[in-house]
Amino acid sequence: MAPILYSFRRCPYAMRARLAIVANGRSVELREIVLRAKPAAMLQVSPKGTVPVLVMPDGSVIDESLDIMRWAGADTDDGWPTDADAALIATNDGAFKHHLDRYKYADCHGVDPVEHRDAATVLLGALDERLRDTGSLGEHPRAGRQSMTDLAIMPFVRQFAQTDRTYFDGLPFERLHAWLAMHLASALFARIMIRPVPWQPDDPPILFPATDTE
């Protein structure tokens, strides 16, 4: 019996969980939700009502995205996810997400989006500098393997870029542009961005990631 993952395709927190699951060869039952009509089964196990939510076969629940990433990478033989840069991820989830929300949803917050766009841009510049040496935000001993740091942060940089692509593309951050383009063009990203129909209680299970024979 596979763990159950409640997810929402475009949510960056859910994206990072799905990225970790696929990158580490885990398998779950995927339940895509609609945010305006959250299923009772999800709210029963995680009343806060945010995704992702992972329900284990024994009934235990993991409802923080970074904890799901750590679960996905547990027991690997190459240091993932203990290589994660906790401070860099905390800056992403704190200051950067704060400004990103107010840039993208300025009307909801009653703020000047340009002010928050510019503050977030400063943080993107720091990421661009971080990419200077290795092209990665984190360290990882296996060639070609993306670190937990990269996978935890990338969905939020993507969301910023999608808010105003012309503005993002005009930023003088060549390394960040290349890094994001590499992730978005990857087979890993394609595998996590499938378009499942919203889950209903009587639906047959959807195994995620799909096997090659499906």
Percent of the chain residues past pLDDT 90, beyond the cut: 87
Burial category of 179 from C-beta neighbours within 10 Å (exposed 0-12, middle 13-18, buried 19 and up): buried
* Edge-to-edge strands, sheet with 61-62: 61-62, 53-55, 4-7, 28-32, 207-208
Beta bridge partners of 55: 4, 61
pTM (two decimals): 0.95
pLDDT of residue 143: 58
The CA radius of gyration of the chain, in Å to the nearest whole number, is: 17
Burial category of 35 from C-beta neighbours within 10 Å (exposed 0-12, middle 13-18, buried 19 and up): exposed
Structural domains of the chain, with CATH = 4-76+190-208 (3.40.30.10), 86-189 (1.20.1050)
| 37-77 tens-digit pLDDT | 999 999 999 999 999 999 999 999 999 999 999 999 998 77
Q: How confident is the model at residue 214 (pLDDT cuts 50, 70, 90)?
A: very low
Mean pLDDT of 170-177: 98
